[in-house]
Amino acid sequence: MTAAVTEIRAIGASASRRPRRNRMPYLYLAPAFLVMGVITLYPLIYQVWMSFTDYGIQNLRAGSASPAWVGAQNYIDVLASQLSIPNYFFVRLLLYNLVWAFSNVAIHVVLGVGIALLVHTRGLWFKRFYRSLFILPVVIPPIIVATVWKNMFDADHGAINQLLALAGGVVGLPASTFGADWLRQVEDPISFIPLPLAFYAMLVTNTWLGWPLNAVVATGALQSIPGELYEAAEIDGAGRWQQFKNVTMVFLRPAMIPYAIYGFVITFNLFYLAFFMSQGGPQGRTELLVTQAYRLVNDQRLYGVGASFAVIMFFILLGITLVTNKLAKATASYQDQ
């Protein structure tokens, strides 16, 4: 309805008063598309060509021989894990990456909404004080968060083990119990879950980093709920749980779902923690697609292989975007019912 109104207004305006210039939009777009054409779109196309060649360090110099065409060999090597680099296994990489993103976002959303509800409680003292300090993890650049938390998880001098020893001391456990080498231990801490200890350490770090923005979004949604709705629900005899389910959740859902999807994509591509904290270890098991892509070109100098890896990543991300968009639409229509 509102869209139709603006549409009619726009048509009316363009017919009568708008200055007419058909080339105008292209002039405004020109600078951006000139720049993007040269440094974004052309490199992406160039990358597709590179991915079918054996581009290597020998082809870097200007004027050196052009690389040989190898067809789909790079793609086969990447997908079938036939690269001659240690600890590389594509299926594990992709599965770990999905598990990493799912587990993080689930925790962030639940904690973010929970803490937003807690601080939103009517009559809670120092609300503003809490809200302004809870945002602190967001204001620190992630590269610094990652490197500082790496020190925190240090086996001998890190704050986490010292803190655990302090807490353990209260119940009489000796400090030597808490000497876990969080980021390097090879054995899995939980025998039936094939994830290394470094995963849990980074999960803790990213939770610290991730829940506050979810809480900000949830708080915004909570503040937009008209108080009358709760009163009406109360008059109808709804209990606390029913009020939460039928009023609070209805307002939270449309705000949280797009944000959770956004968070999923961000976390899926989160370079800093895996690169700086665990450095992909132990045995490459906490490597993400983005860090593996970086290592292929920066450490291994396999430019052709790296290009095919990036193309594969593009299709994986495209798939994720399509699926999440479907999910968002499905939940949106659920909303309207």
211-240: contacts with another protein (CB under 8 A): 212-213, 216-217, 220, 223-228, 230-231
Q: Which is nearer to another protein, 133 or 186 (CB)?
A: 133
**Applying CB under 8 A, which part among 76-84, 131-139, 176-184, 235-243 lies near another protein?**
131-139
**Applying CB under 8 A, which part among 75-83, 145-153, 188-196, 239-247 lies near another protein?**
145-153
Nearest approach in angstroms of CB 306 to another protein is 5
For helices 289-298 and 90-120, angle between their N-to-C axes, nearest 10 degrees? 130
Q: Which is nearer to another protein, 3 or 192 (CB)?
A: 3
Nearest approach in angstroms of CB 194 to another protein is 26
Residues 288-317 interacting with another protein (rule: CB under 8 A): 290, 293-294, 297-298, 303, 306-307, 310, 313-314, 317
**Applying CB under 8 A, which part among 33-41, 70-78, 194-202, 237-245 lies near another protein?**
33-41
Q: Which is nearer to another protein, 135 or 193 (CB)?
A: 135
**Residue 43 lies near another protein (rule: CB under 8 A):** yes
Q: Which is nearer to another protein, 23 or 192 (CB)?
A: 23
Q: Which is nearer to another protein, 165 or 195 (CB)?
A: 165
How far apart are the C-alpha atoms of 320 and 97, rounded to whole Å? 12
**Residue 180 lies near another protein (rule: CB under 8 A):** no
- Among the listed residues 87, 92, 271, 331, the single contact to another protein using CB under 8 A: 271
Q: Which is nearer to another protein, 87 or 162 (CB)?
A: 162
- Among the listed residues 65, 139, 170, 235, the single contact to another protein using CB under 8 A: 139
Nearest approach in angstroms of CB 199 to another protein is 19
**Residue 190 lies near another protein (rule: CB under 8 A):** no
8 Å CB contact between 196 and 285: yes
**Residue 8 lies near another protein (rule: CB under 8 A):** no
Q: Which is nearer to another protein, 154 or 188 (CB)?
A: 154
Q: Which is nearer to another protein, 188 or 238 (CB)?
A: 238
**Residue 57 lies near another protein (rule: CB under 8 A):** no
How far apart are the C-alpha atoms of 183 and 280, rounded to whole Å? 9
8 Å CB contact between 294 and 49: no
How far apart are the C-alpha atoms of 307 and 301, rounded to whole Å? 11
> What is the identity of the amino acid at 244?
F
